[in-house]
Amino acid sequence: MSEDVDTIEVADNRAAGAFELRDAGRLIGIARYAVVPASGAQPERVVFFHTEVSQAYEGQGLAGRLATEALDQTVAGGRTIVALCPYIKVFLKRHAADYAGHVSPPQPTDLEAVDRTVDG
């Protein structure tokens, strides 16, 4: 476990459908998502369905850092946040003002996208 927070990075690995939390390159956390393509006037939707941080890194606020980066990058990309993951749901409730107008309730197409991602 690293004590140097400068070695902690969050990156969007779109090919894997996950925001990855890494310590000096080592994967220590993940926020998995599925994408629902834009349709008409509706922007692309990022459906967060699972978040976890390695047990060795718990209690350091890293899950919050992962969530913040993942959600901020989603919003910056003009995409809509859909939260199915219990951690992301709670995080959004605690930071509702920060993400107001960027969160959408789940739709059937969101659930189908997660099923395809998990099963695929």
Q: Is the pTM of this model over 0.85?
A: yes
Contact predicate 72/65, CB 8 Å:
no
3-state secondary structure string, the chain?
Answer: CCCCHHHEEEEEECCCCEEEEEECCEEEEEEEEEEECCECCECCEEEEEEEEECHHHCCCCHHHHHHHHHHHHHHHCCCEEEECCHHHHHHHHHCHHHHCCCECCCCHHHHHHHHHHHHC
Residue 7's pLDDT is 86
pLDDT of residue 91: 98
- 10-residue mean pLDDT series, the chain (120 residues): 69 96 96 95 95 95 97 97 98 96 96 90
The pLDDT of residue 119: 82
Q: Are 27 and 20 in contact (CB under 8 A)?
A: yes
Structure confidence at residue 1 (pLDDT): 47
List, in order of start, the domains of the chain with CATH numbers. 5-119 (3.40.630.30)
Q: How far apart are alpha carbons 28 and 40 in whole angstroms?
A: 37
The predicted pLDDT at position 5 comes to: 54
